[in-house]
Structure 1
């Protein structure tokens, strides 16, 4: 940015001012973007600081305020995203271990931050539209949709709604799911920034300031008003559920070769639980739940048969199931105490580089754990996602699938009265990954109006009420079990009835806003060019 000086006096040597390479305002904006991004990270579990998220977006909005150039705003949005994703995804370091180094963690964080950069650039197009903060929120949340598709089949970790497992915005999930919660959070932050800027400029309550104030308050009021409508009582009776956490060694990716340990630990903890049931220490469950990949099923399994028969009630067994061609599917199997294994659900949304390897030829060049004998798992087709077991219909989604909208929605639409989430987070050490994932299940509970039971290999296992409250939970890397009664519910939320239309409707609005912003910018530039031409002619 060049500095303009007055004409020098006659005879005075002229020394043109040198432009400042790093203007202070630019540095302040960059610093504010980084601080806001880190504050956004702090709003996520395990910290109950849900209210930090709208404040973080207010900071981002103030950074972007007045920006007209796409690439400048892109840079600030990218900085915000990088300061958010780098700390959020540090669990990748625990998962991959020192052999990989920091590059996968850095690469994924950079790739995801590009979406935030694009959001910052596009927000410059809609900022001058009427209700600019709302359009900005729509644009920001709309970019979470392609992030669920790309890269590597999608990685929706860190969606705005996942910062809200409690607090004022959570009830909105029952109306419009994660997308509506996201728009409410970002819209509140952007509205707060607009209100602060208006009051600073005029120092009085003008009409634009009133509109900004309304945009800030309405999402909060709407969320709080919906709290009494969140049903938690049983509508088709109750069910006593037991979930078994056998524990695992904290060795990251090396756990791949310790599947026998997972099986032994799960069976040992199940036997301890069975003894407690027989002695009356805990109630007899109506359903027993094992975590993801607790065992491998290649044929008849007398040991599991005998254990389930000992409980005398059905079990949902998380298992790696061997197909006739030798490939494996990450599955949940209904195990009857008399007839043994029955219906089976296979995980649809596999974890890239964990359960399958995209771009295998390239990955083999940089990954020490791949060779020609490493075989990808086979994804399921959605069959048996809701299964009849223990006198009710139970919907299942496995681990990583909690981050996606469709599995839980499909299960409830198919009649699920209870949701269960078998998971294996033992790969990720004592990081925040397990509690981040539990926050997703808490959101899903409200979104679908169902109790959710999370069964983890090494924690955190939990029983979640339909209002997102955790009624009981375990610690990390401990052998433990939970037994609790959960309500069986049949009512379908508006979010489930609307389905994906909410997400795609908000996406369509965002696209329309960007198109409108482009038209407005084109007309403004043409009008400015016409005015300049007229002045030149005069």
Structure 2
């Protein structure tokens, strides 16, 4: 499909913005596919690698700068740099992909592969604004239980690029052999969707857990420097005090960062929690920030979720493993602090090392992903593989105004529930607090800023989905194999680089 020289860059940038508009909070899931189709048309059937890289960067920029707008509130320089880097990933993917008919296979594999890289690099990855988050409300979400977000991402790219290839060839008719890769891509999409409808989803154990998720309420756009920790603790104690004693209640669940102490055990906040646990006769899982003195004498902190019984015993604890870059630690702090003193506002968290699971006194195991960790499929998967029968996500989005982070986090919670076949409970100080079913439906959700307790009985589940059993590794290898095959098959006729020796 012929396009004017300036139209291609504009279309690529607009295609990326279209993908971003499929994300929460704007979220209309078909726009992801539409955006990829437009990007495929912008690339055309045989552009130069240099042009592909330029158009790929514009596509990524339109997607990342809009979809990751939340990052401005964390670090403006980091936002500008991170979005540019991640757009560069898609520039590289576009540049290495083959042109011609086999682009319909190679491009989806390349762009899904660089998204897999983005989920883990740099600084442990930034897996927000992903295709999976956008698709969780649509009919393709069930694919996550087969191959997680990576396969779901590939599926969207494959569908979009195949449609774009067929549209281009309708404008310039070609022999059916040239359309075969695009048609094969659509067949593969249909096959994966079909498989997802019969893939295992886990099974109920027959037992249930009645959980009261506590949201203390308050203003958003605030930090620990703006609102004393004691105020946050008090709000959650007030909300917990409204819970009536109930013989069917099994657990009270507090969000992340609701207590800030030098040492929790034996502290006054611990005594207040124990008092409420004793009144209700059930354990309380509470999120706390606890000071740590490292071996070199520096003062740091750990972000943990603990279980406190009615007699005041701490029976289980999980310390957050995946820390938020520029939020809970500063990469290259020594270099950056020479440029700006703003890094002094960011503490240095100590990463935990234990598996992502806590155990209740009655023996139930809960996969525990604290805040940021819910964006990483491997964290919840780890807990479920260790026998977790449900998932909890204590979080704290109070630092962010608007709803970009909060709605993308609920969408990520929905993905984690689908991937593992487990109920997921999310609790936040200022919202959103929610219960999510194993098929990804939001059964209950709070409003933002409200002080509220939402209570629900969830079924405990066992058994593994295919994603829980396999993880991401096999699918990343498959993407790279697809890309290699597409590059080999898409080589120009007579290209001596692919010939054997004489």
TM-score, scaled to structure 2: 0.90
CA distance, structure 1, for counterparts of residue 332 and residue 195 of structure 2: 48
Q: 8 Å contact 1:287–1:314 — kept in the other structure?
A: yes
Aligned to 1:152: 123
Structure 1 gaps of 5+ residues are 1-22, 528-538
Residue of 402, 421, 424 corresponding to 1:452: 424
Aligned to 1:15: none
Structure 1 segment 107-506 matched on structure 2, within 5 A: 107-123=81-97, 126-128=98-100, 130=102, 132-202=103-173, 206-209=176-179, 212-213=182-183, 215-216=185-186, 218-220=188-190, 222-223=192-193, 226-227=196-197, 231=201, 234-253=204-223, 255=225, 258-272=228-242, 274=243, 277-278=244-245, 284-297=248-261, 298=263, 299-300=265-266, 301-323=270-292, 325=294, 327-371=300-344, 375-383=347-355, 385-506=357-478
Aligned length: 489
The alignment partner of 1:426 has SS state of coil
CA distance, structure 1, for counterparts of residue 120 and residue 205 of structure 2: 36
CA distance, structure 2, for counterparts of residue 217 and residue 383 of structure 1: 39
The alignment partner of 2:6 has SS state of helix
Q: 8 Å contact 2:356–2:382 — kept in the other structure?
A: no
Q: 8 Å contact 1:295–1:320 — kept in the other structure?
A: yes
Q: 8 Å contact 1:249–1:255 — kept in the other structure?
A: no
CA distance, structure 1, for counterparts of residue 200 and residue 355 of structure 2: 30
Distance 1:177 1:306, change over 3 A: same
Shift of 1:67: 3.8
Q: 8 Å contact 1:291–1:317 — kept in the other structure?
A: yes
User: Is the deviation greater in 146-155 or in 489-498?
Assistant: 146-155
CA distance, structure 2, for counterparts of residue 183 and residue 24 of structure 1: 26
Structure 2 gaps of 5+ residues are none
The alignment partner of 2:116 has SS state of helix
The alignment partner of 2:412 has SS state of helix
Shift of 1:213: 4.0
Shift of 1:493: 0.5
Q: Deviations over 1:415-473 (max 9, x none)?
A: 01100111101111123110011111101111111111111111111100000000000
Shift of 1:153: 2.7
User: Is the deviation greater in 104-113 or in 226-235?
Assistant: 226-235
Shift of 1:187: 0.3
1:57 aligns with 2:36: yes
TM-score, scaled to structure 1: 0.84
